[in-house]
Every structure is written in structure tokens, then in C-alpha cells.
């Protein structure tokens, strides 16, 4: 039976890239439009990663039930 391999360096890079979006006091740009500030927090991943305009425009939470940053399912 094959041994499962993990890309720990890749996991660390992903964590470092997503970490600023977990700081609810930080002013990060929306990951979709990259122009407006991120104002909405997604649960359960707790990423503050998009603006209201992009959420509405792209149907995030309704048509697309996943966080645009980490692809976790929105609850």
C-alpha cells in the first residue's frame, strides 16, 4: 500500500499567505477585485477576504458556497 506524502513546505507557504486575512483589524484588499478593502468575514474559516460588492457580484455564499481564499465551505 502506498505511503501518503505531505507537502509541508507548500502548507507553510499557504498558511503564511492566508494569515493576514485572519487578522480582523488588518486592512487587506479584497482577494477578488484587489481594489476595495476586505470587510466581510467568512465562517468557519474566519477569513476577512472580500468586499460586499464582490460578494454580491459573484454570489459568494449562495451560488458559490466556498471561501475565495481557502476554498473552505461557508456555513
What are the backbone dihedrals phi and psi of residue 11, each rounded to the nearest 5 degrees, phi first? -65, -40
Instruction: Report the pLDDT value the prediction gives residue 1, as an integer from 0 to 100.
Output: 54
pTM, 2 dp:
0.80
Tally the C-alpha atoms within 13 A of residue 13's C-alpha that lie toward its C-beta: 4
Local confidence pLDDT in tens for the 75 residues of the chain: 556 788 999 999 999 999 999 999 999 999 999 999 999 999 999 999 999 999 999 999 899 999 999 999 998
DSSP 36: S
Quote the pLDDT of residue 39: 95
Non-local (6+) Cβ contacts of 69 within 8 A are: 18, 21, 31, 42, 45, 47, 49
Amino acid at each position: 500500500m502506498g505511503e501518503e506524502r505531505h507537502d509541508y513546505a507548500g502548507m507553510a507557504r499557504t498558511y503564511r499567505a492566508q494569515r493576514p486575512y485572519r487578522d480582523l483589524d488588518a486592512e487587506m484588499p479584497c482577494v477578488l477585485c484587489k481594489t476595495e478593502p476586505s470587510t466581510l468575514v467568512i465562517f468557519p474559516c474566519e477569513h476577512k477576504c472580500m468586499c460586499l460588492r464582490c460578494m454580491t457580484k459573484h454570489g459568494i455564499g449562495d451560488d458559490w458556497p466556498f471561501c475565495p481564499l481557502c476554498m473552505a465551505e461557508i456555513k
